[in-house]
């Protein structure tokens, strides 16, 4: 199943990083967050990607264009200007990199990819969020209900830790984790081709009219994921993800190669 990654936004809330690079290219542990997301899909056998680019899209294209070279050992013959690859370590992914417009909205970016997706179900997620979601279980859930669309409902990360109180006495502390109440759209969607009937032009925001109409029509289901999910909206979020990676216990870490 093909995976669409929405990677065209300006990333204004992370302007400390995104003045020079697009948000999906901000690095966690020396690799762009886009790479981490793609590695998660590939871990479950889904290695064909369509990246919907926009802001500073040339940087994403250059990264993947030169990736084979950068991840290989080379012998270069300067006299003949030839090279020999000795040890290629690139993954067996097929990556489509499409300029879907600078100001195109999320639904419009997906619509622009319609001709490449053909008449098959496909996955969609955002280029700035990490999770330990089981992609195979997500797809199995989608197939089980027969509706047009599934999105992953997640618990938003709690911003602060908690105190345990006995009257006025503090008896313990709880580290920050996923919030215990409320669900939000965490991306990691599975969509049938019928979804294109709900999309209309570059100004179409997927999260508004299309998803609202799908819900109204009884065609939108939620795969509930209560475990790790973390967006990278701010510099604080980036530092949190870096800390998890450097600790060696990042929940998504097994998926990255």
The pLDDT assigned to 174 comes to 66
Q: Does an H or E element contain 62, and which?
A: helix 57-65
Q: Tell me, yes or no, whether 224 lies in a domain.
A: yes
Q: Tell me, yes or no, whether 31 lies in a domain.
A: yes
Question: DSSP readout, 74-100?
Answer: EEEETTTTEEEEEEE-----EEEEEE-
Task: Give the total number of structural domains in the chain.
Answer: 1
Q: Tell me, yes or no, whether 79 lies in a domain.
A: yes
Q: Tell me, yes or no, whether 9 lies in a domain.
A: yes
Residues 204-232: tens digit of each pLDDT = 999 999 999 999 999 999 999 999 999 99
Tell me: pLDDT of 173 over 80.
no
Rounded distance between C-alpha atoms, residue 145 and residue 161, angstroms = 37
Q: What is the mean pLDDT of residues 136-148?
A: 97
What does the H/E/C string look like for 142-167?
A: HHHHCCCEEEEEECCECCCCEEEEEC
- Using 50, 70 and 90 to split pLDDT, how confident is the model at 88? confident
Q: Tell me, yes or no, whether 108 lies in a domain.
A: yes
Q: Tell me, yes or no, whether 179 lies in a domain.
A: no
Averaged confidence pLDDT in the chain:
92
- Could you give the maximum distance between any two Cα atoms of the chain, in Å? 80
pTM for this predicted structure: 0.89
Q: Which domain holds residue 29?
A: 3-153+184-255
Q: Tell me, yes or no, whether 113 lies in a domain.
A: yes
Tell me: pLDDT of 78 over 60.
yes
184 vs 90 pLDDT, higher one: 184
> Dihedral angle at the C-alpha atoms of 132, 138, 140, 142, nearest 10 degrees?
180
Q: Tell me, yes or no, whether 171 lies in a domain.
A: no
17: CATH = 3.90.550.10
Q: Does an H or E element contain 122, and which?
A: strand 122-126
Residue 212 CB neighbours (<10 A) = 12
The pLDDT assigned to 136 comes to 98
């Amino acid at each position: 199943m093909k995976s669409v990654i929405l990677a065209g936004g300006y990333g204004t809330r992370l302007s400390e990083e995104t003045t020079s690079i697009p948000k999906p290219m901000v690095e966690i542990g020396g690799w762009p967050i886009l790479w981490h997301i793609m590695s998660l899909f590939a871990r479950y056998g889904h290695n064909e990607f369509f990246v919907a680019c926009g802001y500073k899209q040339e940087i994403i294209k250059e990264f993947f264009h030169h990736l084979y070279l950068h991840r290989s050992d080379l012998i270069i013959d300067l006299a003949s200007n030839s090279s020999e690859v000795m040890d290629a370590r690139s993954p067996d992914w097929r990556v489509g990199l499409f300029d879907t417009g600078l100001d195109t909205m999320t639904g419009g970016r997906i619509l622009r990819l319609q001709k490449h997706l053909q008449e098959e179900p496909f996955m969609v997620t955002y280029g700035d969020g990490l999770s330990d979601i089981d992609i195979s279980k997500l797809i199995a859930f989608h197939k089980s209900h027969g509706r047009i669309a599934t999105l992953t409902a997640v618990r938003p990360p709690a911003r602060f830790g908690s105190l345990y109180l006995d009257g006025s006495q503090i008896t313990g502390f709880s580290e920050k984790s996923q919030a215990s109440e409320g669900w939000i759209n965490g991306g990691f969607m599975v969509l049938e081709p019928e979804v294109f009937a709900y999309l209309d032009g570059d100004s179409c925001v997927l999260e508004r009219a299309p998803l609202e109409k799908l819900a109204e029509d009884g065609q939108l289901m939620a795969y509930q994921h209560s475990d790790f999910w973390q967006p990278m909206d701010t510099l604080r979020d980036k530092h949190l993800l870096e800390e998890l990676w450097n600790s060696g216990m990042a929940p998504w870490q097994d998926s990255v190669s």
